[in-house]
Structure 1
Amino acid sequence: MVRRPIEGRSDSWAGYAACGWAVAFGLAHVYAGLGGARVLIRHSVGETRASGDTFIAVGLFGTGLLCLVAGGLALALVQPWGLVVPRRMLLVAGWSVAAILFVHTAGAFAILALAGADVIELTTEPMRTYGPASVVRWNVFVFEPPFLLGGALFALTTRTFMRRTRPGPPVSQNPRRPQR
């Protein structure tokens, strides 16, 4: 059967927002890799790690590249040219990005909550330098919310794509479903 988008609906805003989020997040990582935002990086991972070549090459430039690819994925989920890519591939990629971002956020919040409650002890350089309370607040309110936002945008975009591209006639012409 031929996949056809839902006619007359303009609910692709989440895809454009996910693309914008991914590009902004990717460019922020490239900027940090080029030497910008050193204060933020040091507070997040520590001076020793932030100045390492591996961290910069993989952690910052690698993440930046992956984010730019994710931006392309978000556009493929909402643009007509995305229909040339196999539907299942786009669905797996979209749900995977959303899941990775959600799992990252949930894991970080769990670790930070346990560290904040003194259940576990984190012995990272920022913890020793700035103290647990400062690092927990910094991560909870600055570093983790963008991951949560990205996960929500990719989940919404992928769900919309999944509904839009169901096999068969357009939803507005499906006799089993009322028109909206």
Structure 2
Amino acid sequence: MVCCLYVISERKNTIVNTISGASEISKRRRAATWFGYAACAWSLLFSLAHFYWGIEAATTGVLTVPGGNIHLENGPATGSGVILAWVVTVGILCILGGLIALFRIRGERMSHGMQRSATAVGVVTMTAYVVYCFTINGFAWIIAPGTLCVFGAAISLSLIQPWGRFIPRWLLLLLAWLGGVIMIVHELYGGILQGMAVSGMIGWQQEHLMIGAPATQAPLTVQQFINQNLIWGSWFLLGGILFCALAWLARHSLDER
């Protein structure tokens, strides 16, 4: 009788632990899904803003941004370089969209080698695009963040969507962590240096040198510093937090979650 009661008690404990564990996994999965869609929305919204600024730069030469307009020194961006930048950007977006469609539609039918090859194409393409933008600079860097944000949106979705399991998870998590940490560190580093320059602890020329800004860039007033950090600082910190939280919550595969 005692043995029977002991066995029943153990089974009850096992069932309770199983239910509790399943509930915890379900909560983590819902949280990961929420952060994934939030990171995707953040990325797409910022990408649309950059593409809009690219159109403004090529037509009016004035960028409409929160806190005041930015006038380009040489007026509207024109020439073959601008056309090439748009063509390359559209081409990159088409390749990225094609790869996502391939994983969604034929992911399960693809061999392991094909999945790896498709992933490699995406990584190599985006790496080449970043190198191209760093090399060309100028107008390309007005629209380049928009393309990178679309890439970030794809990463966030692949971490929470079933088709994402066809992409090496360690790579997705690495990219999500890198994106989130870079945004947070970049904003904190830049904000601290700007605050030191505004308060007179360091000179503006030294601040420009330390953040890689042009030496001719005008110093910020206290009000401009506050506005810039309230708007852009908060925005970048939000994006960094979303991607880091997503990477942490989605650190297990979809099957394990």
Q: TM-score, normalised by structure 1?
A: 0.76
Alpha-carbon contact 1:46-1:125 (below 8 Å) kept: no
Alpha-carbon contact 2:47-2:145 (below 8 Å) kept: yes
Computed over aligned residues only, the root mean square deviation of the Cα atoms, in angstroms, reads 2.8
Q: Which moved more, 1:63-72 or 1:41-50?
A: 41-50
Give deviations 1:71-102, integer Å, cap 9, x for gaps: 00010111111111111111111111111111
* Larger Cα-atom Rg: 2
Alpha-carbon contact 1:115-1:132 (below 8 Å) kept: no
**Structure 1 unaligned blocks of 5 or more:** 1-5, 172-180
1:46 and 1:100 mapped to 2: Cα distance? Answer: 28
Greater RCO, 1 or 2 (C-alpha within 8 Å, sep 6+): 1
Alpha-carbon contact 2:66-2:231 (below 8 Å) kept: no
- Establish whether residue 140 from structure 1 lines up as the match of residue 223 from structure 2: no
Please state whether the residue corresponding to 1:48 is helix, strand or coil: coil
1:43 and 1:120 mapped to 2: Cα distance? Answer: 26
The alpha-carbon distance between structure 1 residues 49 and 78, as it changes in their structure 2 partners (threshold 3 A), is: farther
Please state whether the residue corresponding to 1:34 is helix, strand or coil: helix
**Structure 2 unaligned blocks of 5 or more:** 1-24, 83-136, 206-215
2:158 to 64, 71, 76: 76
Please state whether the residue corresponding to 1:55 is helix, strand or coil: coil
Alpha-carbon contact 1:44-1:126 (below 8 Å) kept: no
Q: TM-score, normalised by structure 2?
A: 0.55
Deviation at 1:45, TM superposition (A): 6.8
2:200 and 2:143 mapped to 1: Cα distance? Answer: 34
Please state whether the residue corresponding to 2:138 is helix, strand or coil: helix
- The runs of 4+ residues in structure 1 deviating greater than 3 Å are 6-9, 41-47, 49-55, 123-126
Please state whether the residue corresponding to 2:145 is helix, strand or coil: helix
Name the counterpart of 1:28. 49
Name the counterpart of 1:56. 139
Alpha-carbon contact 1:46-1:126 (below 8 Å) kept: no
Name the counterpart of 1:125. 217
Name the counterpart of 1:40. 65
Deviation at 1:120, TM superposition (A): 1.8
1:62 and 1:165 mapped to 2: Cα distance? Answer: 31
The alpha-carbon distance between structure 1 residues 42 and 113, as it changes in their structure 2 partners (threshold 3 A), is: closer
Alpha-carbon contact 1:73-1:90 (below 8 Å) kept: yes
Please state whether the residue corresponding to 2:204 is helix, strand or coil: coil
2:231 and 2:43 mapped to 1: Cα distance? Answer: 17
1:42 and 1:141 mapped to 2: Cα distance? Answer: 10
Q: Which moved more, 1:39-48 or 1:118-127?
A: 39-48
Q: Count the aligned residue pairs.
A: 159
